[in-house]
Amino acid sequence: MDEPDLRRGNIFAALPSNRNAEHIETLANIGHGELQRIVSFGQCTADGFWYDQDHDEWVVVLRGRAKLQIEGSRELIALGPGDYINLPAHTRHRVAWTTPEEPTIWLAVTH
């Protein structure tokens, strides 16, 4: 019998030291989706680029701050600790800003 994958850790521990890039780490595979930790250090999506994903994505900001933009909307969606958003598949969006003063730690669930 295979042993269960009882991975454990701390979402705030072992943060990447390279602040020049955003870091995405898969914490677990769940059914047809993934649970990811994303750490941003002031990064944002390149001008003119929009994420258009084939899957739903639910994200929550655990630490730091971010602003998202949904295509067709001028209003930026501000997210801080505890704020979450569900992005259905093919919701074109971009990260307009993340705070450079501290890491922004996101938890993302994709399906």
For the chain, the domains span: 23-110
Q: What is the pLDDT of residue 1?
A: 72
| Nearest CA-CA partner of 64 in 39, 37, 31, 28 | 39
Asked if the 23-110 domain carries CATH number 3.90.1010.10, the reply is no
User: Quick check: 2 pLDDT over 90?
Assistant: no
pLDDT tens for each residue of 53-92:
999 999 999 999 999 999 999 999 999 999 999 999 999 9
Q: What span, in angstroms and rounded, lies between the C-alpha atoms of 96 and 78?
A: 10
Pinpoint the alpha helices (H) of 7-102: none
Q: What span, in angstroms and rounded, lies between the C-alpha atoms of 45 and 68?
A: 10
Work out the angle at residue 20's Cα, subtended by the Cα atoms of residues 76 and 25, and round it to the nearest 5 degrees.
Answer: 80
